[in-house]
């Protein structure tokens, strides 16, 4: 197993891509702590999946926008597992609108969750990673952070910011054997897709080169690779997992 003996945090790990990432890391041998905000029952199910893989799993209710909550979760994970090796920032929200209709609240909520939330956890994990001279950080961004998206100026800005954050932190932490990479999915088959207009899904599918959209497991497999020793010389990179939806 690629991650035997490693310990991970996955933010937004109770549903969708985050749940798939937590399961993939556990399958490769890692103990996994997930955070959730409101999906309590779903979080408990993810912990069961982690434990079914023979690993330790814990779920912690924490608000990623809270600097203090992030530090507390990192501390709890280290207390539970003995150390922390892998951080996967995944939690995110959308508040879509054209820029002329977007409210200040819609902008602030997305930036606080999708960008500041990532900073909060990176900040909390950076010191233990530096001290032990080892760590793997994987940030989930989006192809819309690379290309922009109509009606998503807040989301695109947050996801573009994650890419810049990834590259800057990769430079800062590289000498401590900490790699920092980003994974940029396109539209992914998750529970959230049921709320999207059918024409949006069909348009995204038409953009792909492969004729199919990614699944949460497709994204999770790339994350597990980047968290492993096989990716030890990869840092500051953005891996596009979109079936060619953007290239």
Q: Please give the radius of gyration of the chain, using alpha carbons only, rounded to the nearest integer.
A: 17
C-alpha 40 chain-centroid distance:
19
* Cα dihedral 11, 16, 21, 27 sign: positive
In a 10 Å sphere around its CB, with 0-12 CB exposed, 13-18 middle and 19+ buried, how is residue 202 labelled? exposed
Pull the structure tokens for residue 220: 């999770």
**Beta carbons of 15 and 59 less than 8 angstroms apart:** no
Choose, from 118, 155, 189, 246, the residue flagged as catalytic: 155
Q: In the chain, which ranges are E strands? A: 7-10, 31-36, 57-61, 86-89, 135-140, 178-185, 238-241
Active site residue 155: yes
At residue 194, the 3 state secondary structure works out as helix
- Angle, helix 67-81 to helix 117-132, in steps of 10 degrees: 40
Q: Indicate which residues carry an active-site annotation.
A: 155
């Amino acid at each position: 197993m690629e991650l035997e003996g490693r310990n991970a945090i996955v933010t937004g790990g109770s549903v969708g891509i985050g749940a798939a990432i937590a399961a993939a890391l556990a399958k490769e041998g890692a103990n996994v702590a997930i955070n959730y905000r409101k999906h309590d029952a779903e979080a408990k199910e993810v912990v069961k999946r982690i434990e079914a893989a023979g690993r330790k799993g814990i779920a912690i209710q924490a608000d990623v926008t809270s600097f203090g909550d992030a530090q507390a979760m990192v501390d709890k994970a280290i207390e539970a597992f003995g150390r922390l090796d892998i951080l996967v920032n995944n939690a995110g929200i959308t508040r879509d609108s054209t820029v002329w209709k977007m409210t200040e609240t819609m902008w602030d909520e997305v930036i606080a969750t999708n960008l500041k939330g990532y900073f909060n956890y990176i900040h909390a994990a950076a010191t233990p990673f530096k001290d032990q001279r080892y760590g793997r950080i994987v940030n989930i961004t989006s192809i819309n952070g690379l290309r922009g998206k109509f009606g998503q100026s807040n989301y695109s800005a947050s996801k573009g910011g994650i890419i810049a954050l990834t590259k800057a932190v990769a430079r800062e932490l590289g000498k401590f054997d900490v790699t920092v990479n980003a994974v940029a999915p396109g539209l992914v088959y998750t529970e959230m897709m049921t709320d999207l207009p059918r024409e949006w899904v069909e348009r995204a599918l038409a953009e792909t080169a492969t004729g199919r959209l990614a699944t949460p497991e497709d994204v999770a497999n790339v994350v597990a690779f980047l968290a492993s020793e096989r990716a030890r010389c990869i840092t500051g990179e953005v891996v596009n997992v979109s079936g060619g939806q953007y290239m």
